Amino acid sequence: MPDPASHILPTASDLGAPAAGSALWSVERAASPLIGTAIHNGHALRDEVAAVMGLDDPGRLREEDPFTAYAIKDVPNRIVFHRSRFEIDLNRDAEGAVYLRPDQAWGLDIWAQRPEDGLVKRSLDVHAAYYAMLHQTLAAIAAEHGQFVLLDIHSYNHRRNGPEADPTPEAEAPQINIGTISMDRSRWAHVVDPFIDSLRSFSFRGRPMDVRENIAFEGRGEQTRFVHANFPDTGCAIAIEFKKFFMDEWTGAPDIEALAAMRAMIAASLPVLLDSLKASA
């Protein structure tokens, strides 16, 4: 597998400027059965949410998944959500998609004042609209290709006790966590197992990637559940959590070489995924 140093390093423009507050999501559609999503990449808030938000920008950014949109730049079909998960969390069901209490959001005191019911409803309308769009998009891809694979890209913190404190022990925090709990694992083993092997074969800074399944997370998010509930015979959704080895989770500063590796290993897995789908056709 190629060394990430051989790949072109991302520039500031590659990593993308923040989307305007009015933007919801971007969809890039291709003639391919492979889809990449970055639904926690966004940081923007619409004005009425920003007006009652008590959590500051660094606090929000720490729990968001910046740069995950960059990781999927080589996936043919791409969906990127531009709003912050603190406005609406697409990876939770409607009942919990707006964080109203600290226990829903890592103990954080999010709001300067409790959001009015109308604001919450308008956020939930975005949630419903997203899943309507996703269903339409995936149904079209399934009709065209028979089956599809959706890579649901996220990231997670491993220095929660502070920038100077010890990180989460490696035994509990793989560099890449693959979540498969919501899928029929035996049905999709011919796709998931080669995908994991591909990621593990990637060398970064002289070491193979530490890729494990259902360790830090199990893939219980709403998006993978939605795919497997609505496309049980045609859709394989893989929840992928990158430990934030590609950035400083306290300052938000990216590690450019690590981001290049992150993108390269996803790109290298795409032919493997296509071969797996063809083998089961």
For residue 168, what is the domain's CATH number? 3.40.630.40
CA distance 44 to 249: 18
> 195-205 pLDDT, tens per residue?
999 999 999 99
Can you give the residue range of the structural domain that contains 173?
21-280
Q: How confident is the model at residue 30 (pLDDT cuts 50, 70, 90)?
A: very high
Domain-located, residue 8? no
Q: How confident is the model at residue 240 (pLDDT cuts 50, 70, 90)?
A: very high
Domain-located, residue 246? yes
Average pLDDT over residues 120-147: 98
Whether the per-residue pLDDT at 244 is higher than 70: the answer is: yes
User: For the chain, how many structural domains are there in total?
Assistant: 1
Q: 33-72 as b/e, with b when 16 or more CB fall inside 10 Å?
A: bbbbbbbbbbbbbbeebeeebebeeebbbbbbbbbbbbbb
Domain-located, residue 10? no
pTM of the model: 0.94
> 42-87 pLDDT, tens per residue?
999 999 999 999 999 999 999 999 999 999 999 999 999 999 999 9
Q: How confident is the model at residue 15 (pLDDT cuts 50, 70, 90)?
A: confident
Domain-located, residue 6? no
Mean pLDDT score of the chain: 93
Give me the helices (H) in 166-255, please.
189-200, 222-230
Contact 107, 183 (CB under 8 A): no
